[in-house]
């Protein structure tokens, strides 16, 4: 196990663990940890940064996305072995290499570049999250990276496949496997734009529902898929399922939920059930419409996407699940002993599958007494229907009696979601009192259940009867046309103009800090996740113009901090590069889970541009956002070398001065005024002996140029030999 203070060094595809910095220095690896100096990251990436950079520089490429694919097992990668399908290790990845649809053979030539490579990549372990951040069983050396051919909208999607060992048949899936998958995604969450999980179909609905709850404050797409026939077979459904999942996860409209893509439909993960054992339409969402549908085009329904009331905390993984749960089916003449056994200790939660709209035999006083006594001693019982479609409603006396016994109505939740919701709620230590647990089970946590007025799923939140201003009438009309165009796949001039205008209004409102306009658009349309033709979302616009009020409003209404524009820049990039950049704005985005993408050269280029301009404020913001300021650009230089070359003495002084806070993890962000003050007067913690890819130090460059004052500063900061 890699522990705090250790380092993982990737050399020629192999990862080796070194005990401390001294051991690395002995091997001529320039990596230091002295006093308050930060860890060095040359470029924290699981993909070749030159390949990514080449994609960004390609005139034919409009945008770039990177995905992580977890191949856990299932039919999609099986081969016939002795007359039955079985998982064959390493076969899936090797076969993908020979499938042009999944591996652009022409683009492979980019890897044969003539220019200078950076040195081996260094992966520092994160404080306190050893198992989640870099799990021992899933190291970057196991990744095989592919590039899809350019999509219809000229997007380049890279995906890295990590194959589990051993591969798991979905019938063998347990809570431990859910935790493993969740931790793996948590480990690499900051370094990919989305995730695809290849999974067997038998328990896929359970895994999808479980992950929906385990991922808290999720802001990126996580799509599960599989197939009924192996992808290698001539008429397999695996081909379309896998490709569709990749295109949606890496596309221009990523849906920040756990979803299931199967047979051209993208369903919410906490709403699906397996409906067929042998048909290609193996999954359905009986009580909630699809979030996207694939035909000649991929049609998205953004008004259906679950958006939490506020995004004010970073993504996290909850792995504490309760195992003491069960599913109890009602059937005629069920015995008292049978029911009592299900409700007896150590059972803490039960999914009670009842008849029709939630009914049980009201004449069975023995059963009702069992339910009442179990509820009184703290057992959580959630009532769900045995029917394929519909939900629990206390419209009959036989159903109302369960409410009187303390049974919680499950409305239209699926059995799979009810069970996994119980495991999640009962596993929340901070919500260990029964009243809080019952409250959590009675409301929608991830869009898994329809309660009350939210039943109007497919209607636009349009209100034309009461607008008092022409502006509001125009917005409502455009929102109505916009929504109708999406549902009916309309491509009329009116629909096109509605899309353009409503997006322009929203982006302009964000850019001008017009909160009233944003409120009107959100009320009419139901969301504010809109982007202009350059891929800039409303949050990009507000951040770029430094509007803290608008940024806070957009975050509270579920706008994603992870959306990238056509240049691969996030709202956090825009906030730092803004002429009105502020510490408060960057902190607001960071606390909402925003992260810089350190997988290619655009951040090091921006950092070095700030160093070249002597812009200490911007360097400080990049340091706050997670840069060590020692990342190399494509020329193999970091900020200190650029600052020296431009003779910015004070910038060099800031870079080499100790940093008072460890900012390598979001939990280390300044939390109080004292921490903020300490950070604002501290340096960046860059080691003065940091080298370029050509092995020259900042002191070497200062001496070469005859910058005496910088030489004296650097010499005074070097540790004594």
**What pLDDT shows up at residue 661?**
67
201 annotated ligand-binding residue: yes
| pLDDT-derived band at 498, boundaries 50, 70, 90 | low
Examine residue 15 and state whether it is found in any structural domain, yes or no.
Answer: no
**CA distance readout (Å), 288 to 35, 292, 305, 574:** 56, 12, 11, 36
pLDDT confidence of residue 119: 39
Burial track 465-490 (b if 16+ CB lie within 10 A, e otherwise): eebeeeebebbbbbbbbbbebbeeee
Pair (179, 244) in one structural domain: yes
Q: Which residues are catalytic?
A: 201
Judgement on whether residues 361 and 312 belong to the same structural domain of the protein: no
Asked, for residue 36, whether it belongs to a domain, the answer is: no
Cα 472–chain centre separation: 34
Q: Which whole number is the average pLDDT over 487-499?
A: 57
| Residue where one domain finishes, among candidates 388, 409, 442 | 442
Residues 6+ apart with CB under 8 A from 505: 475, 478, 517, 521
Q: Largest Cα–Cα distance of the chain, in whole Å?
A: 97
Q: Are residues 351 and 313 in the same domain?
A: no
Q: pLDDT of 613-665, one tens digit each?
A: 999 999 999 998 888 898 888 788 999 999 999 999 999 999 999 887 665 55
**Do residues 332 and 301 both lie within one domain?**
no
Give pLDDT tens digits for 49-66: 667 777 777 778 888 889
How confident is the model over 364-407, as pLDDT tens digits? 999 999 999 999 999 999 999 999 999 998 666 666 889 889 99
- What are the respective helix, strand and coil percentages of the chain, to the nearest 5? 40, 15, 45
- For 228-277, the pLDDT digits (tens) are 999 988 889 999 999 999 999 999 888 999 999 999 999 999 999 999 99
Any idea what the CATH number is for the domain that residue 666 is in?
Answer: 1.25.40.20
Q: What is the pLDDT of residue 3?
A: 32
Domain boundary among 265, 298, 317: 317
43 confidence band (pLDDT: 50, 70, 90)? very low
Q: Are 625 and 577 in contact (CB under 8 A)?
A: no
Q: Are both 625 and 688 inside the same structural domain? A: yes
Residue 475 placed within a domain: no
Residues above pLDDT 90, as percent of the chain: 48
Query: What pLDDT digit, counting tens, does each position of 396-409 carry?
Result: 666 688 988 999 99
Is 11 part of any domain? Answer: no
401: CATH? 3.40.50.40
* Strands (DSSP E) found in 23-130: 63-71, 78-81, 84-87, 122-124
Whether residues 165 and 206 fall in one domain: yes
Structure confidence by residue, pLDDT tens digits, 309-357: 666 678 899 999 999 999 999 999 999 999 999 999 999 999 999 999 8
Q: Is residue 48 part of a domain?
A: no
At 107 the pLDDT is 75
Same domain, 146 and 242: yes
The reply to whether 389 and 306 lie within a common domain is: no
Q: What is the DSSP string of 438-480?
A: HHHHTS-SSS-S--GGGG--SS-----SS--SHHHHHHHHHHH
Average pLDDT, the chain: 81
User: Residue 498: CB partners within 8 Å, gap ≥ 6?
Assistant: 478, 481, 482, 485
Q: What tens digit of pLDDT does each residue of 682-704 get?
A: 888 888 888 888 889 999 999 99
Domain range for 89 is 61-111+138-317
Numbers of helices and strands, H then E, in the chain: 26, 22
Same-domain check for residues 235 and 383: no
Domain boundary (400, 423, 442) is at 442
Do both 265 and 147 map to the same domain?
Answer: yes
Judge if 249 and 278 occupy the same domain: yes
The confidence band for 454, taking pLDDT boundaries of 50, 70 and 90, is very low
Question: Is 316 annotated as ligand-binding?
Answer: no
Question: At residue 477, does pLDDT exceed 80?
Answer: no
pLDDT at 14 > cutoff 50: no
Between 676 and 16, where is the model more confident? 676
Shared domain for 101 and 216, answered yes or no, is yes
* Number of neighbouring beta carbons within 10 Å of residue 612: 15
**Does position 122 have pLDDT exceeding 80, yes or no?**
no
pLDDT at 694: 84
Whether 96 is covered by a domain: the verdict is yes
pLDDT at 417 over 90: yes
> 578 in a domain, yes or no?
no
CATH number of the domain at 242, please: 3.40.50.1170
Query: Among 329-338, 413-422, 528-537, 704-713, which stretch is predicted with the lowest mean pLDDT?
Result: 528-537
Q: Distance (Å, rounded) from C-alpha 488 to C-alpha 618?
A: 46
The pLDDT, as a whole number, for residue 8 is: 38
The answer to whether position 34 is within a domain reads no
Structural domains counted in the chain = 3
Q: Does 202 count as an annotated binding residue? A: yes
Tokens at 578, concatenated: 């803004």
Burial of 434 by CB count in 10 Å (0-12 exposed, 13-18 middle, 19+ buried)? middle
Percent of the chain with pLDDT over 70: 77
Give the tens place of pLDDT for each residue, 70-119. Answer: 999 999 988 888 878 888 888 899 889 889 899 888 776 665 554 334 43
Note the pLDDT tens digit of each residue in 587-608: 999 988 888 876 667 888 999 9
């Amino acid at each position: 196990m890699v522990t705090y203070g250790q380092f993982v060094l990737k050399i020629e595809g192999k990862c080796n663990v070194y005990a401390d910095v001294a051991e690395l220095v002995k091997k001529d690896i320039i990596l230091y940890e002295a006093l308050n100096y930060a860890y060095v990251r040359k470029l924290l990436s699981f993909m070749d940064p030159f390949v990514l950079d080449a994609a960004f520089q390609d005139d034919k490429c409009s945008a770039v996305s990177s995905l992580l694919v977890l191949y856990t097992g299932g039919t999609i990668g099986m081969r016939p072995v002795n007359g039955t399908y079985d998982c064959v290790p390493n076969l899936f990845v090797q076969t993908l290499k020979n499938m042009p649809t999944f591996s652009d053979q022409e683009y492979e030539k980019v890897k044969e570049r003539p220019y200078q490579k950076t040195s081996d990549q260094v992966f520092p372990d994160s404080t306190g999250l050893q198992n989640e951040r870099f799990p021992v069983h899933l190291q970057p050396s196991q990744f095989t990276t592919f590039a899809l051919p350019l999509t219809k909208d000229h997007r380049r999607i890279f995906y890295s496949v990590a194959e589990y060992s051993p591969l798991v048949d979905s019938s063998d899936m347990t809570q431990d496997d859910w935790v493993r998958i969740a931790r793996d995604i948590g480990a690499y969450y900051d370094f990919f734009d989305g995730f695809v999980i290849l999974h067997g179909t038998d328990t896929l609905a359970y895994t999808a529902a479980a992950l929906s709850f385990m991922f808290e404050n999720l802001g990126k797409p996580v799509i599960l898929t599989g197939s009924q026939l192996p992808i290698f077979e001539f008429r397999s459904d695996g081909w379309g399922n896998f490709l569709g999942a990749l295109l949606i996860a890496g596309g221009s409209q990523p849906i920040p939920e756990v979803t299931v893509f199967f047979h051209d439909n993208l369903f919410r993960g906490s709403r699906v059930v397996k409906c067929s054992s042998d048909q290609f339409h193996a999954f359905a969402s009986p009580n909630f419409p699809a979030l996207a549908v694939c035909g000649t085009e991929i049609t998205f329904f953004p008004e259906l996407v679950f958006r939490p009331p506020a995004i004010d905390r970073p993504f996290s993984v909850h792995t504490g699940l309760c195992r003491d749960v069960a599913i109890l089916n009602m059937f005629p003449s069920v015995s008292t002993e049978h029911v009592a056994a299900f409700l007896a200790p150590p059972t803490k939660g039960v999914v009670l599958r009842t008849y029709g709209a939630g009914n049980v035999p009201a004449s069975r006083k023995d059963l009702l007494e069992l339910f009442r006594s179990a509820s009184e001693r703290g057992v959580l019982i959630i009532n769900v229907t045995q029917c394929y479609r519909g939900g629990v409603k206390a419209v009959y006396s036989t159903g109302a009696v369960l409410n009187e016994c303390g049974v919680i109505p499950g409305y239209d939740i699926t059995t799979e979601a009810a069970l996994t919701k119980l495991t999640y709620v009962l596993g929340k230590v901070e919500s260990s009192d029964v009243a809080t647990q019952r409250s959590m089970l009675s409301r929608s946590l991830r869009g898994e259940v329809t309660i009350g007025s939210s039943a109007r799923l497919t209607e636009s939140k349009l209100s034309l009867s009461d607008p008092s201003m022409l502006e509001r009438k125009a917005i409502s009309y455009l929102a109505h046309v916009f929504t109708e165009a999406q549902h009916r796949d309309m491509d009329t001039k009116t629909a096109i103009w509605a899309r353009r205008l409503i997006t322009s209004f929203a982006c302009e409102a964000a850019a001008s800090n017009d909160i009233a306009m944003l409120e009107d658009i959100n009320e009419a349309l139901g969301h504010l996740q809109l982007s202009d033709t350059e891929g800039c979302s409303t949050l990009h616009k507000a951040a770029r113009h430094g509007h803290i009020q608008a940024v806070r409003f957009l975050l509270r209404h579920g706008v994603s901090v992870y959306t990238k524009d056509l240049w691969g820049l996030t709202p956090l990039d825009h906030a730092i590069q803004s002429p009105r950049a502020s510490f408060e704005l960057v902190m607001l985005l960071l606390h909402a889970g925003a992260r810089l993408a350190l997988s290619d050269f655009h951040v090091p280029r921006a950092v070095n541009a700030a160093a070249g301009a002597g812009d200490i404020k911007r360097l400080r913001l990049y340091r706050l956002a997670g840069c060590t300021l020692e990342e190399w650009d494509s020329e193999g230089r970091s900020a200190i070398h650029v600052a020296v070359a431009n003779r910015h003495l004070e910038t060099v002084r800031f870079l080499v001065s100790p940093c008072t806070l460890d900012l390598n993890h979001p939990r280390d962000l300044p939390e109080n005024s004292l921490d903020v003050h300490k950070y604002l007067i501290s340096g960046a913690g860059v080691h003065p002996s940091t080298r370029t890819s050509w092995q020259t130090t900042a002191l070497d460059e200062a001496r070469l140029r005859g910058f005496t004052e910088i030489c004296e500063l650097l010499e005074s900061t070097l540790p004594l030999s």
